[in-house]
Amino acid sequence: MQVAGDGIQKLLAAESAAATIVAEARKAKQERLRQAKAEAEREIAAYKAEREGAYQKKLAESTSGAAATSERLHKETELSIKQVQSDVAASKATVVDLLVKYATTVKD
């Protein structure tokens, strides 16, 4: 009988050892999964930050380009207006003389 009891004790001990090994393996697997998840989240955050930086840079470039274009167009417009005003001032006397001449001249 003692042999059967010894065998059962050995089986119970082996089962207990196997259960411990399985539990430790599960814990190790869960820990690896947690670490992988944390690493993936860090990589995602880094990638998001990189893409956001690139987006902000492009946005700033396009905005500054638009501002520069607007400023250039404003200066060109001011220059054109000054040129037209200068041409008007230069031709004003001649145009007035012609208008007076045509208005006062009677054709037969």
pTM of structure: 0.50
Confidence of residue 6 (pLDDT cuts 50, 70, 90): confident
pLDDT mean across residues, the chain: 91
DSSP per-residue string spanning the chain: -HHHHHHHHHHHHHHHHHHHHHHHHHHHHHHHHHHHHHHHHHHHHHHHHHHHHHHHHHHHHHHHHHHHHHHHHHHHHHHHHHHHHHHHHHHHHHHHHHHHHHHH----
Residue-wise pLDDT for 78-98, tens only, equals 999 999 999 999 999 999 999
**Residue 64 carries which side chain, given as an amino acid letter?**
S
What separation in angstroms does the CA of 65 have from each of 55, 56, 69, 107?
15, 14, 6, 61
